[in-house]
Amino acid sequence: MAATIKDIKAETGLGLATISKYLNGGNVRSENRLKIEEAIRKLDYHPNETARSLVTKRTRTIGFVVNNIASNFSGVLLQHASAYLHDRGYGMMICDSNSDEKQEAESIRFCIEKQVDGIILIPVSMEPSSLQSAEKAGVPVVLLDREMHSDDFDCVIIDNSSAAERATDFLISSGHRKIAVIYSNEYTGHERFLGYRAAMKKAGIEIPEQYMYSARTHSTELGYTSMKALLKLKDRPTAVLSTNYEVSLGVIMALNEEGVRCPENISLIGFDELILPMVMKPKLTLVAQPMEEIASEGVRILLKRIEEGRKLPPQKVSLYAALKEGESVRRIQNRQKSRKESK
Protein backbone atom coordinates (compact mmCIF):
# COMPACT_ATOMS: atom_id res chain seq x y z
CA MET A 1 0.00 0.00 0.00
CA ALA A 2 1.27 3.46 -0.89
CA ALA A 3 2.50 5.67 1.93
CA THR A 4 0.26 8.52 3.07
CA ILE A 5 0.75 11.80 4.88
CA LYS A 6 -0.32 10.04 8.09
CA ASP A 7 2.61 7.65 7.68
CA ILE A 8 4.94 10.65 7.49
CA LYS A 9 3.31 11.99 10.65
CA ALA A 10 3.96 8.70 12.45
CA GLU A 11 7.55 8.56 11.19
CA THR A 12 8.47 12.15 12.10
CA GLY A 13 6.23 12.90 15.05
CA LEU A 14 5.30 16.20 13.42
CA GLY A 15 1.80 17.61 13.03
CA LEU A 16 -0.23 17.19 9.85
CA ALA A 17 -0.34 20.97 9.41
CA THR A 18 3.47 21.23 9.32
CA ILE A 19 3.81 18.31 6.92
CA SER A 20 1.05 19.67 4.67
CA LYS A 21 2.67 23.09 4.64
CA TYR A 22 5.97 21.58 3.49
CA LEU A 23 4.30 19.47 0.78
CA ASN A 24 2.51 22.53 -0.56
CA GLY A 25 5.72 24.53 -0.88
CA GLY A 26 5.49 26.49 2.35
CA ASN A 27 8.39 27.36 4.63
CA VAL A 28 8.99 25.13 7.65
CA ARG A 29 11.84 24.99 10.14
CA SER A 30 15.01 23.49 8.71
CA GLU A 31 15.07 20.64 11.26
CA ASN A 32 11.45 19.76 10.42
CA ARG A 33 12.16 19.94 6.71
CA LEU A 34 15.01 17.46 7.07
CA LYS A 35 12.79 15.08 9.09
CA ILE A 36 10.06 15.23 6.45
CA GLU A 37 12.46 14.72 3.55
CA GLU A 38 14.07 11.75 5.27
CA ALA A 39 10.64 10.21 5.91
CA ILE A 40 9.61 10.77 2.29
CA ARG A 41 12.71 8.92 1.10
CA LYS A 42 12.34 6.12 3.63
CA LEU A 43 8.62 5.58 2.96
CA ASP A 44 8.90 6.23 -0.79
CA TYR A 45 6.04 8.70 -0.46
CA HIS A 46 4.51 10.17 -3.62
CA PRO A 47 1.91 12.92 -3.23
CA ASN A 48 -1.33 12.78 -5.21
CA GLU A 49 -0.68 15.79 -7.42
CA THR A 50 -4.14 15.72 -9.00
CA ALA A 51 -5.87 15.86 -5.64
CA ARG A 52 -3.48 18.51 -4.37
CA SER A 53 -3.97 20.72 -7.41
CA LEU A 54 -7.75 20.64 -6.88
CA VAL A 55 -7.23 22.03 -3.39
CA THR A 56 -4.41 24.51 -4.06
CA LYS A 57 -5.52 25.46 -7.62
CA ARG A 58 -1.88 24.96 -8.65
CA THR A 59 -0.08 22.23 -10.54
CA ARG A 60 3.44 23.33 -9.55
CA THR A 61 4.31 23.13 -13.25
CA ILE A 62 5.87 25.90 -15.33
CA GLY A 63 5.62 26.05 -19.11
CA PHE A 64 8.81 27.09 -20.90
CA VAL A 65 8.26 28.08 -24.53
CA VAL A 66 11.57 28.48 -26.39
CA ASN A 67 12.08 29.91 -29.85
CA ASN A 68 14.52 27.19 -30.93
CA ILE A 69 15.12 24.14 -28.77
CA ALA A 70 18.11 23.10 -30.91
CA SER A 71 19.93 26.30 -29.97
CA ASN A 72 22.78 26.01 -27.46
CA PHE A 73 21.59 29.26 -25.93
CA SER A 74 18.09 27.89 -25.30
CA GLY A 75 19.48 24.63 -23.94
CA VAL A 76 21.63 26.38 -21.34
CA LEU A 77 18.73 28.60 -20.23
CA LEU A 78 16.51 25.52 -19.92
CA GLN A 79 19.12 23.76 -17.81
CA HIS A 80 19.49 26.66 -15.37
CA ALA A 81 15.74 27.30 -15.17
CA SER A 82 15.03 23.62 -14.54
CA ALA A 83 17.55 23.48 -11.67
CA TYR A 84 16.13 26.63 -10.08
CA LEU A 85 12.55 25.36 -10.36
CA HIS A 86 13.46 21.92 -9.02
CA ASP A 87 14.97 23.45 -5.91
CA ARG A 88 11.65 25.16 -5.29
CA GLY A 89 9.46 22.11 -5.88
CA TYR A 90 8.32 22.90 -9.42
CA GLY A 91 8.44 20.87 -12.61
CA MET A 92 8.84 22.22 -16.15
CA MET A 93 7.04 21.51 -19.42
CA ILE A 94 9.00 22.49 -22.54
CA CYS A 95 7.50 23.62 -25.86
CA ASP A 96 9.38 24.66 -29.01
CA SER A 97 7.92 27.40 -31.20
CA ASN A 98 10.53 26.72 -33.91
CA SER A 99 10.85 30.49 -34.52
CA ASP A 100 7.28 30.52 -35.84
CA GLU A 101 4.68 32.94 -34.47
CA LYS A 102 1.73 30.63 -35.16
CA GLN A 103 3.45 27.70 -33.48
CA GLU A 104 4.34 29.96 -30.56
CA ALA A 105 0.67 30.90 -30.05
CA GLU A 106 -0.30 27.22 -30.18
CA SER A 107 2.39 26.35 -27.61
CA ILE A 108 1.13 29.05 -25.24
CA ARG A 109 -2.44 27.74 -25.55
CA PHE A 110 -1.18 24.20 -24.97
CA CYS A 111 0.52 25.26 -21.74
CA ILE A 112 -2.66 26.95 -20.56
CA GLU A 113 -4.73 23.85 -21.35
CA LYS A 114 -2.29 21.81 -19.28
CA GLN A 115 -2.99 24.24 -16.41
CA VAL A 116 0.56 25.41 -15.86
CA ASP A 117 0.99 27.91 -13.04
CA GLY A 118 3.03 30.27 -15.20
CA ILE A 119 4.93 30.56 -18.49
CA ILE A 120 8.50 31.54 -19.29
CA LEU A 121 8.77 32.65 -22.90
CA ILE A 122 11.60 33.41 -25.30
CA PRO A 123 9.29 35.25 -27.69
CA VAL A 124 9.16 35.14 -31.46
CA SER A 125 6.31 37.60 -31.87
CA MET A 126 6.96 41.08 -30.53
CA GLU A 127 3.23 41.88 -30.42
CA PRO A 128 1.54 41.76 -27.00
CA SER A 129 -1.62 40.39 -28.63
CA SER A 130 0.18 37.03 -28.87
CA LEU A 131 -0.23 36.70 -25.09
CA GLN A 132 -3.94 37.44 -24.93
CA SER A 133 -4.80 33.81 -24.20
CA ALA A 134 -2.48 33.78 -21.18
CA GLU A 135 -3.86 37.09 -19.91
CA LYS A 136 -7.46 35.89 -20.20
CA ALA A 137 -6.57 32.70 -18.32
CA GLY A 138 -4.81 34.67 -15.60
CA VAL A 139 -1.52 32.85 -16.25
CA PRO A 140 1.53 35.06 -15.56
CA VAL A 141 4.20 35.26 -18.26
CA VAL A 142 7.84 36.30 -17.97
CA LEU A 143 9.83 37.07 -21.14
CA LEU A 144 13.47 36.06 -21.41
CA ASP A 145 16.10 37.45 -23.78
CA ARG A 146 13.65 39.65 -25.71
CA GLU A 147 11.14 42.42 -25.10
CA MET A 148 7.78 42.98 -26.75
CA HIS A 149 6.26 46.20 -28.07
CA SER A 150 4.66 46.70 -24.67
CA ASP A 151 5.65 47.39 -21.07
CA ASP A 152 2.86 45.19 -19.68
CA PHE A 153 4.97 42.07 -19.17
CA ASP A 154 7.86 41.14 -16.93
CA CYS A 155 11.06 40.59 -18.88
CA VAL A 156 14.70 39.74 -18.27
CA ILE A 157 17.17 40.82 -20.94
CA ILE A 158 20.77 41.93 -21.27
CA ASP A 159 22.06 45.35 -22.30
CA ASN A 160 22.24 44.21 -25.94
CA SER A 161 22.90 47.56 -27.60
CA SER A 162 25.52 48.80 -25.16
CA ALA A 163 27.20 45.36 -25.08
CA ALA A 164 27.63 45.40 -28.87
CA GLU A 165 28.79 49.01 -28.69
CA ARG A 166 31.49 48.06 -26.16
CA ALA A 167 32.60 45.19 -28.39
CA THR A 168 32.84 47.49 -31.42
CA ASP A 169 34.67 50.10 -29.36
CA PHE A 170 37.22 47.42 -28.48
CA LEU A 171 37.82 46.68 -32.16
CA ILE A 172 38.18 50.37 -32.92
CA SER A 173 40.58 50.91 -30.01
CA SER A 174 42.62 48.00 -31.39
CA GLY A 175 43.16 49.99 -34.57
CA HIS A 176 40.40 48.54 -36.78
CA ARG A 177 38.35 50.76 -39.07
CA LYS A 178 37.08 48.19 -41.57
CA ILE A 179 34.63 46.41 -39.27
CA ALA A 180 31.80 44.25 -40.59
CA VAL A 181 28.76 43.03 -38.68
CA ILE A 182 26.57 39.94 -39.05
CA TYR A 183 23.21 40.07 -37.30
CA SER A 184 19.58 38.97 -37.45
CA ASN A 185 16.47 41.12 -37.66
CA GLU A 186 15.15 39.54 -34.47
CA TYR A 187 15.04 41.66 -31.32
CA THR A 188 18.51 40.78 -29.99
CA GLY A 189 20.20 40.97 -33.38
CA HIS A 190 18.66 44.33 -34.20
CA GLU A 191 19.58 45.78 -30.80
CA ARG A 192 23.17 44.60 -31.20
CA PHE A 193 23.32 46.08 -34.69
CA LEU A 194 22.22 49.42 -33.25
CA GLY A 195 25.08 49.24 -30.74
CA TYR A 196 27.59 48.48 -33.50
CA ARG A 197 26.30 51.36 -35.60
CA ALA A 198 26.43 53.75 -32.63
CA ALA A 199 30.08 52.90 -31.96
CA MET A 200 31.03 53.36 -35.60
CA LYS A 201 29.20 56.69 -35.77
CA LYS A 202 30.83 57.85 -32.53
CA ALA A 203 34.25 57.09 -34.04
CA GLY A 204 33.38 58.89 -37.27
CA ILE A 205 33.67 55.70 -39.36
CA GLU A 206 31.36 55.29 -42.33
CA ILE A 207 30.05 51.76 -42.85
CA PRO A 208 30.09 50.35 -46.40
CA GLU A 209 26.82 48.62 -47.29
CA GLN A 210 28.72 45.43 -48.11
CA TYR A 211 30.01 45.24 -44.52
CA MET A 212 26.51 44.64 -43.08
CA TYR A 213 24.89 41.20 -43.41
CA SER A 214 21.57 40.20 -41.88
CA ALA A 215 18.74 37.68 -42.10
CA ARG A 216 15.38 37.09 -40.42
CA THR A 217 16.83 34.83 -37.74
CA HIS A 218 20.22 33.93 -36.29
CA SER A 219 21.67 30.76 -37.76
CA THR A 220 24.92 28.99 -38.57
CA GLU A 221 24.04 29.40 -42.25
CA LEU A 222 23.84 33.18 -41.85
CA GLY A 223 27.34 33.27 -40.34
CA TYR A 224 28.76 30.92 -42.97
CA THR A 225 27.33 32.61 -46.09
CA SER A 226 28.00 36.12 -44.79
CA MET A 227 31.63 35.36 -43.96
CA LYS A 228 32.12 33.74 -47.36
CA ALA A 229 30.81 36.89 -49.03
CA LEU A 230 32.96 39.17 -46.88
CA LEU A 231 36.09 37.21 -47.78
CA LYS A 232 35.36 37.70 -51.49
CA LEU A 233 35.33 41.49 -51.22
CA LYS A 234 38.22 43.31 -52.87
CA ASP A 235 38.37 45.66 -49.88
CA ARG A 236 37.48 43.15 -47.23
CA PRO A 237 37.14 44.02 -43.54
CA THR A 238 39.91 43.51 -41.02
CA ALA A 239 37.44 42.61 -38.26
CA VAL A 240 33.96 41.13 -37.85
CA LEU A 241 31.41 41.46 -35.05
CA SER A 242 29.31 38.28 -34.88
CA THR A 243 26.20 39.01 -32.84
CA ASN A 244 25.13 35.45 -31.99
CA TYR A 245 26.61 32.09 -31.00
CA GLU A 246 25.22 30.13 -33.98
CA VAL A 247 26.37 32.90 -36.31
CA SER A 248 29.90 32.63 -34.87
CA LEU A 249 29.91 28.89 -35.59
CA GLY A 250 29.15 29.60 -39.24
CA VAL A 251 31.78 32.35 -39.40
CA ILE A 252 34.50 30.06 -38.09
CA MET A 253 33.43 27.27 -40.47
CA ALA A 254 33.88 29.67 -43.39
CA LEU A 255 37.26 30.89 -42.13
CA ASN A 256 38.54 27.34 -41.72
CA GLU A 257 37.26 26.32 -45.13
CA GLU A 258 38.98 29.27 -46.81
CA GLY A 259 42.20 28.85 -44.84
CA VAL A 260 41.89 32.34 -43.37
CA ARG A 261 43.67 32.69 -40.04
CA CYS A 262 42.23 34.52 -37.04
CA PRO A 263 43.42 37.03 -35.93
CA GLU A 264 46.35 37.26 -38.36
CA ASN A 265 44.12 37.72 -41.43
CA ILE A 266 40.89 38.80 -39.80
CA SER A 267 39.81 39.61 -36.24
CA LEU A 268 36.61 38.36 -34.66
CA ILE A 269 34.39 39.11 -31.66
CA GLY A 270 31.42 36.86 -30.88
CA PHE A 271 28.60 36.53 -28.36
CA ASP A 272 27.98 33.89 -25.68
CA GLU A 273 30.44 31.94 -23.59
CA LEU A 274 29.28 28.44 -24.54
CA ILE A 275 31.22 25.50 -26.05
CA LEU A 276 32.92 27.31 -28.94
CA PRO A 277 35.25 29.56 -26.89
CA MET A 278 36.47 26.51 -24.96
CA VAL A 279 37.68 24.68 -28.05
CA MET A 280 38.58 27.46 -30.46
CA LYS A 281 42.22 28.34 -30.99
CA PRO A 282 43.01 31.17 -30.61
CA LYS A 283 40.66 31.88 -27.72
CA LEU A 284 37.66 33.89 -28.87
CA THR A 285 37.08 37.42 -27.61
CA LEU A 286 33.38 37.58 -26.79
CA VAL A 287 30.45 39.19 -25.04
CA ALA A 288 29.47 36.82 -22.22
CA GLN A 289 25.80 36.80 -21.30
CA PRO A 290 25.07 35.90 -17.64
CA MET A 291 23.07 32.80 -18.57
CA GLU A 292 22.41 31.46 -15.09
CA GLU A 293 21.35 34.87 -13.85
CA ILE A 294 19.00 35.41 -16.81
CA ALA A 295 17.24 32.09 -16.11
CA SER A 296 17.14 32.35 -12.32
CA GLU A 297 15.95 35.96 -12.35
CA GLY A 298 13.16 35.07 -14.79
CA VAL A 299 12.04 32.14 -12.64
CA ARG A 300 12.25 34.23 -9.46
CA ILE A 301 9.99 36.92 -10.91
CA LEU A 302 7.52 34.33 -12.23
CA LEU A 303 7.23 32.47 -8.91
CA LYS A 304 6.69 35.78 -7.16
CA ARG A 305 3.84 36.52 -9.57
CA ILE A 306 2.33 33.09 -8.94
CA GLU A 307 2.51 33.45 -5.19
CA GLU A 308 1.62 37.14 -4.88
CA GLY A 309 -0.38 37.88 -8.01
CA ARG A 310 -0.01 40.99 -10.18
CA LYS A 311 0.16 43.43 -7.29
CA LEU A 312 3.37 45.05 -8.48
CA PRO A 313 4.02 46.84 -11.79
CA PRO A 314 5.70 44.76 -14.51
CA GLN A 315 9.43 44.39 -13.99
CA LYS A 316 12.08 44.96 -16.66
CA VAL A 317 15.46 43.61 -15.63
CA SER A 318 18.43 44.45 -17.85
CA LEU A 319 21.58 42.53 -16.94
CA TYR A 320 25.15 43.49 -17.81
CA ALA A 321 26.98 41.39 -20.40
CA ALA A 322 30.74 41.57 -19.93
CA LEU A 323 33.29 41.71 -22.74
CA LYS A 324 35.88 38.97 -22.19
CA GLU A 325 39.14 39.51 -24.03
CA GLY A 326 40.64 36.47 -25.74
CA GLU A 327 43.17 36.23 -28.54
CA SER A 328 40.98 36.66 -31.64
CA VAL A 329 41.51 40.42 -32.07
CA ARG A 330 44.74 41.70 -33.60
CA ARG A 331 45.98 45.13 -32.64
CA ILE A 332 46.98 47.04 -35.76
CA GLN A 333 48.57 50.38 -36.53
CA ASN A 334 45.89 52.37 -38.25
CA ARG A 335 47.19 54.24 -41.28
CA GLN A 336 43.81 55.08 -42.71
CA LYS A 337 41.68 57.76 -41.15
CA SER A 338 37.97 57.90 -41.57
CA ARG A 339 36.53 60.57 -43.83
CA LYS A 340 35.31 62.53 -40.83
CA GLU A 341 38.68 62.25 -39.05
CA SER A 342 40.62 63.46 -42.10
CA LYS A 343 38.65 66.70 -42.39
| Domain shared by 180 and 100, yes or no | no
325 within domain boundaries:
no
3-class DSSP state for residue 184?
Answer: strand
Which helix (H) or strand (E) element contains residue 240?
A: strand 239-242
Q: What is the pLDDT of residues 288-312, one digit of tens each?
A: 999 999 999 999 999 999 988 656 7
Q: What is the pLDDT of residues 132-141, one digit of tens each?
A: 999 999 999 9
- Taking the CA atoms of residue 223, residue 201, residue 288 and residue 318 in that order, the dihedral angle to the nearest 10 degrees is -120
Angstrom distance (rounded) from CA 171 to CA 321? 17
* Averaged pLDDT for residues 245-273: 96
Q: What is the pTM of this model?
A: 0.81
Q: What is the pLDDT of residues 140-170, one digit of tens each?
A: 999 999 999 888 899 999 999 999 999 999 9
Strand 267-271 versus strand 316-319 pairing type: unpaired
118 within domain boundaries:
yes
Strand 118-121 versus strand 61-66 pairing type: parallel
| Domain shared by 122 and 234, yes or no | no
Contact 251, 182 (CB under 8 A): yes
Give the CA radius of gyration of the chain: 25
Q: What is the pLDDT of residues 259-270, one digit of tens each?
A: 999 999 999 999
Q: How confident is the model at residue 282 (pLDDT cuts 50, 70, 90)?
A: very high
Q: Which of 270, 289, 308 represents a domain boundary (last residue)?
A: 289
Is the previous residue joined to 140 through a cis bond, with omega within 30 degrees of 0? no
For the chain, how many structural domains are there in total?
3
| Domain shared by 151 and 170, yes or no | no
| Domain shared by 147 and 100, yes or no | yes
Q: Could you list the residue range(s) of the whole structural domain that residue 210 is in?
A: 160-289
| Domain shared by 151 and 300, yes or no | yes
Angstrom distance (rounded) from CA 283 to CA 288? 13
